[in-house]
Amino acid sequence: MTILETRPRVARPDVRVVRRRLGPGHRIPYAFWIGPILLLAVWSAGSATGLISPAILTAPWDVVVAFGEQWTDHDLLGNILSSLHRAALGLGFGIAAGGVLAVVSGLSRLGESLIDGPIQIKRSVPTLALIPLFIAWFGIGQEMKIVTIALISLVPIYIHTHNGLRGIDGRYAELAETIGIGRGEFVRHIVLPGALPGFLLGMRFAVTSSLLGLVVVEQYNATAGIGHMITLAEQYGQTDVIVVGLVIYGVFGYCADSAVRLVGRKVLAWRRTLED
Amino acid sequence: MATDPGGLITRPAVRVRDLHRRFSANGGVLNGLDLDIAPGEFVALIGRSGTGKSTLLRALAGLDRDIAGHGEIEVPEAVSVVFQDSRLLPWKRILDNVVLGLREPDAAQRGRTALDEVGLAGRERSWPFQLSGGEQQRASLARSLVREPQLLLADEPFGALDALTRIRMHKLLRKLCEAHQPAVLLVTHDVDEAIALADRVIVLDAGVVRADVPVDPAGRSRTELRTFLLEELGVEKENR
Ligand SMILES: Nc1ncnc2c1ncn2[C@@H]1O[C@H](COP(=O)(O)OP(=O)(O)O)[C@@H](O)[C@H]1O
Ligand SMILES: [Mg+2]
């Protein structure tokens, strides 16, 4: 049996003021892809109409061809994996060291006095300028490359985690004292979750910094890697291969950054911000 | 001076003697305060703004280690504080907030029971921002009760709530205190709240106890008590 609804189909519209939204509004589906695809479209259009000459920037389809050649003839996959491996190792060490240093320096005055100064000094010395020194210390092999990437990514992790940690509301520390939890639990339940937004921001910087480091260190005596591929292409004047390398860096960076933001949205579900 | 209400020679839950606290060199906030609270007794502390109510409470909670002063404070082992803001950790779900720091294996179960007692069954997995102000304050009450305190310190816990929610919270607090029997020191600026909830009302002024009166159905009527307390607070007649 069906019950007939007696309400008029078109209800009277609400009479009220609908306020203009001041935040960014609802999430756009596939927003992730819109910007990059637009960029690609402009590039394609420019190349097709001849506005962008191949001498300035290789056309996208020629880049695809060069990509295929590199893949089949020059072990592009091996190069990608070897670069990823380096970046991941360096980034991993950098994150671990930066995070630990930030917590130690954030929670203890002694730690701060020992750690904070040197890191601020390190910040003002470009890591890339330290490479000659690292080559003298660690040789020209993998070690030097990983140390450099680690140091480059350590700084943003440290700065933002430390900043996030110090920004935690002091009232939560007071609460922790009144419910009598120990130092370890305090760190686990209050310090780490409270510093997480800062840490994730640091991660976004660290990920791109590690790629920057990668570009530079792979110019030194590498036998594999995207940087190595670009250096070779430079020597032979293969613009298209250089662009393949650049596109790969771009894709790495973009995907890694998006991954960090996605993780951030998941683990920061407790926050109500303009992001949501 | 407080008398022993039952006439028994039991040790008080709280014993404060000659307590001094000052923030600056030129004037003390607490100036030789004495206070006793019997086990299970509900004491309301009223006083004008800035008379040192929070300072006293923080001293009892042991949260004032950077503040100059001296005196004798005896409080029980298990002390719990309810703040004016609920102070729930925004990154922990309600149940995790309630059982924060408990090590017993049945902590989660006890947390659920406490949430049930304050009428928040079913909200265990909510984030604090998803609760209304009154619900957040009830969750923070559950967090205190699950620790089975012998002394409950509350600093204007209902100050930020609307009148209706506040009345509900009064009933809840009374019920919970009767069930769990902690000694309670409730700071409030609301004379009616003090009379409605407490066994005894203390008026703080210039850093000492200015009046200390029992809320006794056999004694003064509530209206008389209210008038007396307002007078002690220095509220002019026409403003009552
Ligand atoms: N952290 C502080 N630093 C300096 N002065 C303070 C501090 N906390 C409180 N005071 C002062 O101590 C006095 C008592 O404050 P408080 O105990 O908070 O009063 P209330 O009775 O309103 O709770 C006030 O005059 C206040 O200005
Ligand atoms: Mg106060």
Spell out the domain ranges in chain A. Answer: 71-267
Residue B8 pLDDT exceeds 70: no
Task: Give residue B194 CA to ligand 1 midpoint distance, Å.
Answer: 21
DSSP state of A50: T
A200 lies within 8 A of chain B by CB: no
pLDDT tens track for B172-182: 899 889 888 99
Length of chain A: 276
As a whole-number percent, the residues of chain B with pLDDT over 90 amount to 58
Task: Give residue B156 CA to ligand 2 midpoint distance, Å.
Answer: 7
**The ligand 1 atom nearest the CA atom of B57:** 17
Return the pLDDT at A210.
92
Lowest mean pLDDT among A175-179, A189-193, A237-241, B233-237: B233-237
What confidence category does residue B206 fall into, taking pLDDT thresholds of 50, 70 and 90? confident
Q: Which two tokens stand for residue A256?
A: 């890694």
| Site of tokens 């056309």 | A59
Task: Judge contact between B128 and B97, C-beta under 8 A.
Answer: yes
Q: How close A174 gets to chain B, by Cα (Å)? A: 7
Of A184, A189, A150, A191, residue with least CA distance to A169: A191
The ligand minimizing its distance to the Cα of B206 is 1
DSSP one-letter string for chain B: ----TTS--PPPSEEEEEEEEEEETTEEEEEEEEEEE-TT-EEEEE--TTSSHHHHHHHHHT--TTSEEEEEEE--S-EEEE-SS----TTS-HHHHHTTT--STTHHHHHHHHHHHTT-TT-TT--GGGS-HHHHHHHHHHHHHTT--SEEEEESTTTTS-HHHHHHHHHHHHHHHHHH--EEEEE-S-HHHHHHH-SEEEEEETTEEEEEEE--TTSS-HHHHHHHHHHHTT--GGG-
> What mean pLDDT, rounded, does chain B reach?
89
CATH architecture, domain A71-267: Orthogonal Bundle (1.10)
What is the Cα B183 distance to its own chain's centre?
Answer: 9
Inter-chain contact A270–B129, Cβ cutoff 8 Å?
yes
Task: Give residue B25 CA to ligand 1 midpoint distance, Å.
Answer: 14
Task: Give residue B50 CA to ligand 2 midpoint distance, Å.
Answer: 7
The values of phi and psi at residue A18, to 5°, are -95, 115
Residue B2 pLDDT exceeds 50: no
Return the pLDDT at A118.
92
Return the pLDDT at A126.
84
What confidence category does residue B73 fall into, taking pLDDT thresholds of 50, 70 and 90? very high
What confidence category does residue B1 fall into, taking pLDDT thresholds of 50, 70 and 90? very low
Inter-chain contact A189–B62, Cβ cutoff 8 Å?
no
E strands of chain A, at which residues?
none
CB-based pocket (< 6 A), ligand 1 = B 23, 29, 47, 49-55
Q: Indicate the SS3 state at residue A272.
A: coil
Task: Judge contact between B156 and B51, C-beta under 8 A.
Answer: no
Question: Which amino acid is it at A154?
Answer: L
> What mean pLDDT, rounded, does chain A reach?
88
DSSP state of A222: -
Nearest CA to ligand 1 atom 17: B52
Residue A13 pLDDT exceeds 80: no
| Site of tokens 């009598």 | A180
User: Residues A188-210: what's their mean pLDDT?
Assistant: 94
Residues B8, B14, B16: CA angle, nearest 5 degrees:
110
E strands of A106-262, at which residues?
none
User: Residues B18-30: what's their mean pLDDT?
Assistant: 88
Task: Judge contact between A266 and A258, C-beta under 8 A.
Answer: no
A192 lies within 8 A of chain B by CB: no
Interface mutation target, options B57, B82, B85, B91, chain A, most CBs of A under 10 Å: B91
What confidence category does residue A180 fall into, taking pLDDT thresholds of 50, 70 and 90? confident
Residues B154, B159, B62: CA angle, nearest 5 degrees:
25
pLDDT tens track for A125-149: 888 788 889 999 998 888 999 999 9
With 0-12 / 13-18 / 19 or more C-beta atoms within 10 angstroms meaning exposed / middle / buried, residue A209 is buried
Inter-chain contact A189–B63, Cβ cutoff 8 Å?
no
